[in-house]
Amino acid sequence: MSEGAPTVAVVGAGAAGLMAALFAARTGADVVLLESTKDGGRKILISGGGRCNILPSVAQPERYVTDSSANTLRKMLRAWPLQEQQAFFEHELDMPLELEEASGKLFPSSHKARDVRDGLVRRVREAGARIWFEARVVDLESSPGGWRIVLAGAPPITVDRVVVATGGLSVPATGSDGKGLQILQALGHEVNATYPALTPLTASPHPHADLAGVSGTVTITAPGARPAFSTTGGFLFTHRGWSGPTVLDASHLAVRGHPDRSRQELLVQWTEHAAPWWDRALREGAGTVRAVLAPHIPKRLADTLLEEAAVPPDTQLSQLQRDPRKTLVAVLTAYALPYTGDEGYRKAEVTGGGVDLGEVASRTMESKRAAGLHLCGEVLDAFGPIGGHNFLWAWSTGRTAGRAAAARP
């Protein structure tokens, strides 16, 4: 840190906040990182079941969801390309990344989530930043030439610039309580309606409770959704409903419904085979219906689907009439998921909605409403699908915000 360097406070030590603090300190600012929990980075710790899905193998900006400008979102992601982020973790944190072929996710090959969190905290400190854990920010107040930060149970501090990386409302057990969104809205920012995203779906009563634990690879589509939606991947029956990457990726459509607030239907194709394939297999095959389904669908699920289609499993294909066959094909390829609710923010991976992207400058993440205030991460109106895309967003926007906040006037 050189004489006359700006003082920067980063609020929130999650993925975006840690990256912002690191790059602000490396750029030369006098940095303090304020975190309400006792250790920070708690969403990093639970990522990938404790393995930490650091990044996707392919950046897919078209799959992000926002009510803001998609073009602005793409600019923010491009500020730190995927390959450069991968190189950062492999060289700066000495964590070679390994591709999980089935999912397209990148994981540290010989490290756990805690190593990722601890490695980032260590680098932040090595860069010269101070970290204040259990420091809860109550309010931000603009002051002449800077910002006054009001803390719970401690004297306020004054800095030149602030980076808000407080996250949203998802997984409140990790410290996300929406306080940052409240503060930003009070400062005049447009906050698009928030909602739980990447969250399991539920049903009450649950028609498939006896299938809990059954899993497979499916395709889910959402008729009438704009833009068109389709996702293929893992699916899991749970005691309360359904989960797995496909359900999580589609959940925001179920949570929000159509623009007129009517229910969004989600259709499940249970195998890789579409309707024409199944129709031909059921017309031209030999043996029983159950025997045709057996190689493609777990037995318990196949029995349930046959029961719902009112087709006895021991029906000979030669005796299967046209109407029952068409019904069964529809059940196998366009099954209407009977959800009635969702797990909400308690199990949501991310928060949908947030500060409109038009409220910040894409090259600096600085607020257009308040000079010296930078925003990054989940507090902004954008989220991506399961598979490291939300870390990609956090790392990129955090780095941009930190570097810009530390830049000399």
Domain boundaries of the chain, sorted by first residue:
7-196+349-406, 200-266+337-342, 275-336
pLDDT band at 3 (very low <50, low <70, confident <90, very high): low
Distances (CA, A) of 73 to 61, 259, 299, 362, 394: 8, 22, 44, 8, 12
Which tens digits make up the pLDDT trace of 176-232? Answer: 999 999 999 999 999 999 999 999 999 999 999 999 999 999 999 999 999 999 999
pLDDT at residue 256 tops 50: yes
Which tens digits make up the pLDDT trace of 173-186? Answer: 899 999 999 999 99
pLDDT value of position 1: 47
User: DSSP letter at 107?
Assistant: E
Q: How would you class 96 by CB atoms within 10 Å of its CB: exposed for 0-12, middle for 13-18, buried for 19 or more?
A: middle
Computed over every residue of the chain, the mean pLDDT equals 96
Q: Which two tokens stand for residue 372?
A: 């010296």
CATH number of this structure's domain 275-336: 1.10.8.50
Which tens digits make up the pLDDT trace of 303-314? Answer: 999 999 999 999
Domains 7-196+349-406 and 275-336 equal at CATH topology level: no
What is the per-residue DSSP string for 209-220? GGGTT-EEEEEE
pLDDT value of position 408: 80
pLDDT band at 5 (very low <50, low <70, confident <90, very high): confident
Task: Taking residues 372-399, report their average pLDDT.
Answer: 98
pLDDT at residue 2 tops 70: no
pLDDT at residue 119 tops 60: yes
Fold classification of 7-196+349-406 is FAD/NAD(P)-binding domain (3.50.50)
Distances (CA, A) of 308 to 156, 266, 302, 397: 63, 17, 10, 48
